[in-house]
Amino acid sequence: MSLSNLSTITFVRCLGCGRESLLTSQALPLCLDCIRSNFPRVLPYIERAHQAAREPCDLPPKPLRDEGGKQCNICVNECLIGLGRKGYCGLRQNKGGRLIGANAEKGNVSWYYDLLPTNCVADWVCPGGTGAGYPDFAYRDGPEYSYKNLAVFYQACSFDCLFCQNWQYRLSAGREATLSASLLADQVDEKTACVCYFGGDPTPQLPHALRASRLALERNRGRILRICWETNGSMHPSLLRQAAELSLRSGGCIKFDLKAWSEELSIALCGVTNRRTLENFELLAHYTRERPSPPFLIASTLLIPGYIDKWEVSKIASFIASLNPEIPYSLLAFHPQFLMGDLPTTSRRLADECLGTAKEAGLGNVRIGNLHLLRDY
């Protein structure tokens, strides 16, 4: 299906109120008003949508609450996993009353090198893209040409985003963890300026990423090696503090994807509450004044047509500004993916409105990302 114009997008009737819209996905046939204001009534449709997204990959439809199960505390889902069952992320299984699967030593992960400057969410403010923090945290007083990023992709996630931009990870989320933290740390060579953990999401495998980071920093002592994260922010706060200390000390950054403000909308789009994410973002904001340059904490929001509107951005931006108005905030144009491939890309009008709203909320460092995806109608 062509995504270049609205003529290929079909009207979808909201199952909550019956209204039709071009900006409603068949994967989540509910309008924004019904999700935010009539949540209990439409929740069964939301649960059905996420079940359809997860069943083909043999992932549990919702976080487990098995009576007498073993509890995993790595992320907000805090699954209680019964005998022979696996958790929401698909990584951990209760075998004989013991949780097995990905751990600090072994991860379900792939990696590659990405030449700097790269298309990182933070490239417009980070050392790799701008030279911010030179000479303490950057090799050049400008973009770090000739250096590279070690991009580490964790093949699991604590969320279930119906619009996932990297949904292919689901095909290997249940595979056995095989890459050791030590071997991953070995991939850092003399031209590696930063390591960025993303996915999926690094959250379900944070113990592995933390161990790999410490090993890499120890083996490359005396030179610049930034540790960075791109995450939904749903990890246990104690793990987040460890990640934060590594990034703060190394000149790296933590990029939080603030997908929505409304908890109801977060559950509808991502299957999971966003309360832990917002609490963790507030926790990290306390670190930002310790190292103003390069920026330690960066936020982003994907502008999904029909679901993420000016009100959501206004609330998110006001929240960020209340913590530190200098925290960079990137509004990302949407590209139709996964089960929401029937939506159009973000309109220039919506992007401009959200940009203005974020600035009005008091933020001093906002931009629109993925400009090439914006449509003019």
CA dihedral 98, 100, 105, 106 (to 10 degrees): 180
Nearest Cα residue to 284 out of 223, 328, 330: 328
Judged by DSSP in three states, 104 sits in coil
Residue 18: predicted pLDDT: 94
Both tokens assigned to 167: 């949904």
- Separation CA 197–CA 288 (nearest Å): 20
Indicate the pairing of strand 98-101 with strand 92-95.
Answer: antiparallel
Residue 3: predicted pLDDT: 37
pLDDT 10s digits, 174-212: 677 789 999 999 999 999 999 999 999 999 999 999 999
pLDDT 10s digits, 25-69: 999 999 999 999 999 999 999 999 999 999 999 999 999 999 999
CATH number of 106-373: 3.20.20.70
Q: How confident is the model at residue 294 (pLDDT cuts 50, 70, 90)?
A: very high
CA 196 to chain centre: 12
Sign of CA dihedral 162, 165, 168, 169: negative
| Residue ranges matching CATH 3.20.20.70 in the chain | 106-373
- Asked whether residue 377 carries a pLDDT value surpassing 80, the answer given is no
Collect all residues with Cβ–Cβ distance below 8 Å to 125 and sequence separation of at least 6. Answer: 132, 294, 295, 298, 328, 365
Side chain identity at 86, as an amino acid letter? K
Judged by DSSP in three states, 250 sits in helix
